[in-house]
Amino acid sequence: MPLLEPKPGALRPRGTGAPAPDRVPEHLAGGTPPALRAELSELLGAEKVLWKVSDLVRYATDASPYRFVPQVVVVAEDIDDVSAVLSYAHGKQREVVFRAAGTSLNGQAQGEDILVDVRRHWAGVEVLEEGRRARIRPGTTVFRANAALARHGRILGPDPASAVACTLGGVVANNSSGMTAGTTRNSYRTLSSLTLVLPTGTVVDTADPLADEELARAEPGLCHGLMELKREIEADPALVARIRAKYEIKNTTGYRLDAYLDGTTPVEILRGLMVGSEGTLGFIAEVVFDTLPLDRELTSALLFFPSLPAAAAAVPLFNDAGAIAVELMDGNTLRASVSVAGVPADWAELPKDTAALLVEFRAPDAAARAEYERRAAAVLPALELVTPVASVTNAFTSDPAAIAGYWKARKAFVTAVGGARPPGTTLITEDFAVPPSRLAEACEALLALQAEHGFDAAVAGHAAHGNLHFLLAFDAAEPADVARYAAFMDAFCHLTVERFDGSLKAEHSTGRNMAPFLELEWGAKAADLMWRTKRLLDPDAVLAPRVLLDRDPLAHLRGLKTIPRVEDVADPCIECGFCEPTCPSGDLTTTPRQRIVLRREMTRQRPGSPVLAELLDAYGYDAVDTCAGDSTCMLACPVGIDTGALMRDFRHRRHGAREERAAELAARRFRAVEAGARLAVAASGKITHALGDRVLEAVTGAARKAVRPDLVPEWLPQVPGAAARRLPATRRVDAAAVYYPACVNRIFGGPPGDPGPSLPEAVVAVSERAGKPVWIPRDVAGTCCATIWHSKGYEAGNRLMANRIVEAAWGWTAGGRLPLVVDASSCTLGLAREVVPFLTADNQALHAELRIVDSVVWAAEELLPHLEVRRTVGSAVLHPTCSSRHLGDEAQLRAVAGACAAEVVVPDDAGCCAFAGDRGMLHPELTAAATAREAAEVRAREFDAYLSANRMCEVGMDRATGRPYHSVLVELERATRP
């Protein structure tokens, strides 16, 4: 297949207007200042220093409304790197900000000088004491940590809605809590110990019995100062009472002053102060959590009320009944949530004043759950519920799918509402808390204040704990809009403090938006203690200045980012970062969020800008070429932004007419292309057998240098040999299904040295054994699911092949009367969904009649019930493909694997292998980066079988792990063979 030529100009944004006032200045076109780059490269190694302007731009944003461009980005690998950077910053009077997931909502993950990435090399979970505790590195997501703990029936206390993306370092640094944590299960209450690096470079493990003794030797002034502040606070009974009262409700404004009351030694005080310190007092290198029981018996309800105050008034009733979560959603939230897959479309028509409560009870066993159900039933008759709840008697459910749907809608609050905001507007997310008994009153006051300032914001929150969130959208490029926002914030802060004695920040930590209002909430004396704490630990103000403490009354208006319009598919992005953990290229080049961030910066620039030229030059490889195109970002994004599709469109833009014609010709003559490819694979196998892999590696390596890597695949020793020239013989008479062997399985055979059977032979054999014989049409050669063209953005070839295969399938299946079974998950996805937009109207009608079934689903649902399993292996590791995730058939994949092995393990870090057809041969570094963590899990032990459901994914995992992967259907044939 002809591939893309590098044409940066084709990626130039269309329709750019006047340059934006917050554009990256032209003096940064060369990236990091040379002296700074050279010094850090010498100190740490050049590979750890990101310096191009595209690097600085992609790290210049987080989930907040702020944007600050760093001077340099350091990718720290260990504590030594962190200590070295801090020492350098002290000596050079520079500033340092630590960044992990970048899901912070108030600019905590942004800096204007040295930004240190502590996500990439900082993941890992060690389960301790049978799950009762867990040692976790700061770059580990909450979701990943809980996956490891779930096997032991345990879970972490904090449960933020961004658990799939946010990391434990950020959770502790912001004292994040979430839906159920309240004031008793949050980071401050469940953190057992931590290892931290002070601004001086001193490392403290608070669990070490000698930690206080060692700290006293290393930092005597710090130890003395902490104890002096403790004595001063304890000598003021009114202040002590005030501090205790402030933490009776959720509160993350400022430093945790109760750390001085709860800690008895300097190290204990430090442990408490680090929680919620937002990286301003030190770096959290490791945490140990006390975990909680994972109560698996659930009963939940989504209850609708005529108004927000009416819903809020019902909250105390469910609290008294023992609900662990009572989540509030207003009408704006409910209506915006229809963009989330699975949310009923009729929510869009709900009356404006409608509000809902998501109520959940969790119990250790069925008897306890039944008691909770009884209590909930006693509450329901007193409530004024409205449709769509048809009957209060069946409002609560224990159905896992229904409960998951409720939570999906709730957790998508920020992103779904943000995605529905007017294009080009900036999103502000705020959270506050009031005593739960005053929640209804606070709701009414908030709605009135929003209306007064011309906002129609969405409101949701953890109502059980008096914690509300609201979103505001405004145009940061319009001074009048910024002034309106500033007036609202000032009024809101005074309302919360003076009327409700509430917390201005309940769980997102102070951040840049609330830093100017800290003294308003706490008073002068307590605020002064916070400033003195900062000066004591960080006297040179090296760490994250202006993030938590800032006396400038207008600090929250500085650095507000504009959101210029780019491609329509990307405009809803609020830069939340939910997509990043799923992205195969995240540890290599860019993530989906960063791809969009870079596009927005291009749009901010003037035509001819040197910054724009540098961004375009880097974008080809960093964004377009190294995108696997797997679109798992769409699954992770609450509003379904498909950045993979955007990159495929960019690939198309870079094609010239000559390339499009060549790709179309390849589609027209695909029978010859297919035969030639099989012969080439067979020939290369003979060369390898005779001369070894080095000859082909040298030949392809030279060609890649002479042309370019995106035109010539690299030879990989793991590439399988050629498939058999002939497919298995089958009969159309009495066939239960049409079997379509994908072209990849018609070209490539199984793993080298594998005695067989081939995948087509296995599918035919197991189908026959189950009494469901399949038929392979004789004219499948020369047809394809069109993914080859689709993934590379070749529109004409894609359209031609898409229509050809649908017309052929219509004839093979007798007009859709027989199912079409496809033996590669990516090809199933291509045939079932991806071809549709490229079909003629007539062929779309034909396609709608086809039943396209993945071979794994065929085996799980149609064959397994009729097969006798005669032998199993002891253990199997399973790699679910990204196409399986899109198709929603991972359960069937596990079922087939489970029939073949006594133990089936899906690695916690399983994700897209990024082989993506041939992209793993064009850019093997992409597959290496994408599979690194999963491969480490696989190599940690031996398995009897290594299974997946797509041949090229199996090749990618072969390369990553050094283990022989094969199809789960081949394993099923062996397990059921007479």
**Residue range 780-801: mean pLDDT, rounded:** 93
Residue 470, number of CB atoms within 10 A of its CB? 24
> If 0-12 CB within 10 Å is exposed, 13-18 middle and 19+ buried, where does residue 301 land?
buried
Does the pLDDT at position 561 exceed 80?
yes
pLDDT digit string, tens, across residues 801-813: 999 999 999 999 9
Domain assignment present for 243: yes
Region of poorest pLDDT, from 91-95, 177-181, 345-349, 946-950: 345-349
Query: What is the pLDDT, as a whole number, of residue 256?
Result: 98
What average pLDDT is seen over the chain?
92
Query: What is the pLDDT, as a whole number, of residue 719?
Result: 67
- Give residue 285's pLDDT band: very low, low, confident or very high (50, 70, 90): very high
Does the pLDDT at position 392 exceed 70?
no
pLDDT digit string, tens, across residues 800-854: 999 999 999 999 999 999 999 999 999 999 999 999 999 999 999 999 999 999 9
pLDDT digit string, tens, across residues 737-777: 999 999 999 988 887 777 779 999 999 999 999 999 999 99
Q: Are 182 and 465 in contact (CB under 8 A)?
A: yes
Q: In terms of domains, do 418 and 519 share one?
A: no
For 334-357, b where at least 16 C-beta lie within 10 A, e where not — what string? bbbbbbbeebeeebeebeeebbbb
| Domain containing residue 931: CATH number | 3.40.50
Domain assignment present for 560: yes
> What is the DSSP pairing of strand 114-117 with strand 72-75?
parallel
Q: In terms of domains, do 734 and 760 share one?
A: yes
Domain assignment present for 606: no
- Give residue 699's pLDDT band: very low, low, confident or very high (50, 70, 90): very low
| Domain containing residue 540: CATH number | 3.30.465.10
- Tokens 């709860």 found at: 262
CA-to-CA dists, residue 857 to 344, 780, 949, 970, angstroms: 27, 21, 11, 14
Q: In terms of domains, do 317 and 383 share one?
A: yes
Show the tokens assigned to 67: 């944007």
- When divided into structural domains, the chain yields a total of 4
> What is the DSSP pairing of strand 72-75 with strand 325-330?
unpaired
pLDDT digit string, tens, across residues 670-694: 999 888 888 877 776 555 545 454 5
> If 0-12 CB within 10 Å is exposed, 13-18 middle and 19+ buried, where does residue 485 land?
buried
Q: Are 310 and 355 in contact (CB under 8 A)?
A: yes
- Give residue 337's pLDDT band: very low, low, confident or very high (50, 70, 90): confident
pLDDT digit string, tens, across residues 286-335: 999 999 999 999 999 999 999 988 998 899 999 999 999 999 998 888 88
Q: In terms of domains, do 755 and 719 share one?
A: yes
Query: What is the pLDDT, as a whole number, of residue 707?
Result: 40
Does the pLDDT at position 872 exceed 70?
yes
> Angle, to 10 degrees, between the axis of helix 968-976 and the axis of helix 890-900?
40
Q: In terms of domains, do 842 and 878 share one?
A: no
Does the pLDDT at position 342 exceed 90?
no
Among the candidates 564, 598, 633, a domain finishes at 564
| Domain containing residue 419: CATH number | 3.40.462.10
> If 0-12 CB within 10 Å is exposed, 13-18 middle and 19+ buried, where does residue 825 land?
buried
Show the tokens assigned to 605: 């620039």
pLDDT digit string, tens, across residues 621-675: 999 999 999 999 999 987 889 999 999 999 999 888 888 888 899 899 999 988 8
Domain assignment present for 786: yes
Cα gap 177→250, rounded to integer Å: 9
Cα gap 570→597, rounded to integer Å: 10
pLDDT digit string, tens, across residues 107-127: 999 999 999 999 999 999 999
Query: What is the pLDDT, as a whole number, of residue 714?
Result: 55
> How much of the chain exceeds pLDDT 70, in percent?
95
Does the pLDDT at position 497 exceed 70?
yes
* Domain limits for position 896: 868-976
Q: In terms of domains, do 834 and 965 share one?
A: no
Range list of β-strands (E), 812-867: 820-822, 852-854
**Residue range 272-280: mean pLDDT, rounded:** 98
Residues in contact with 334: Cβ distance below 8 Å, sequence separation at least 6, in sequence order: 347, 350, 354, 355, 356, 409
Query: What is the pLDDT, as a whole number, of residue 508?
Result: 87
Cα gap 496→517, rounded to integer Å: 11
Among the candidates 460, 490, 508, a domain finishes at 508
- Give residue 1's pLDDT band: very low, low, confident or very high (50, 70, 90): very low
Kind and range of the H or E element at 416?
helix 413-419
Domain assignment present for 8: no
Cα gap 229→549, rounded to integer Å: 18
Q: In terms of domains, do 876 and 811 share one?
A: no
- Give residue 716's pLDDT band: very low, low, confident or very high (50, 70, 90): low
Residues in contact with 15: Cβ distance below 8 Å, sequence separation at least 6, in sequence order: none
Q: In terms of domains, do 399 and 273 share one?
A: no
Show the tokens assigned to 151: 């096997």
DSSP per position, 64-127: SSBB---SEEEE--SHHHHHHHHHHHHHHT--EEEESS---SSSTT--SSEEEE-STT---EEE
**Residue range 258-268: mean pLDDT, rounded:** 98
Q: In terms of domains, do 284 and 301 share one?
A: no
Among the candidates 490, 508, 526, a domain finishes at 508
Q: In terms of domains, do 824 and 675 share one?
A: yes
DSSP state of 968: H
Choose between 9 and 27: higher pLDDT. Answer: 27
- Give residue 712's pLDDT band: very low, low, confident or very high (50, 70, 90): very low
Query: What is the pLDDT, as a whole number, of residue 15?
Result: 61
Residues in contact with 177: Cβ distance below 8 Å, sequence separation at least 6, in sequence order: 158, 159, 160, 183, 185, 186, 187, 250, 462, 465, 506, 507
Long-range Cβ contact pairs of 962-968 (< 8 A, separation 24 or more): 963/877, 963/938, 963/939, 964/751, 964/753, 964/754, 965/751, 965/879, 966/750, 966/751, 966/754, 967/759, 967/762, 967/823, 968/856, 968/859, 968/878, 968/893, 968/896, 968/897, 968/900
Query: What is the pLDDT, as a whole number, of residue 3?
Result: 44
Name the residue among 599, 656, 603 with its Cα closest to residue 623.
Answer: 599
> What is the DSSP pairing of strand 297-305 with strand 355-363?
antiparallel
Q: In terms of domains, do 252 and 321 share one?
A: no
Domain assignment present for 876: yes
Q: In terms of domains, do 416 and 366 share one?
A: yes
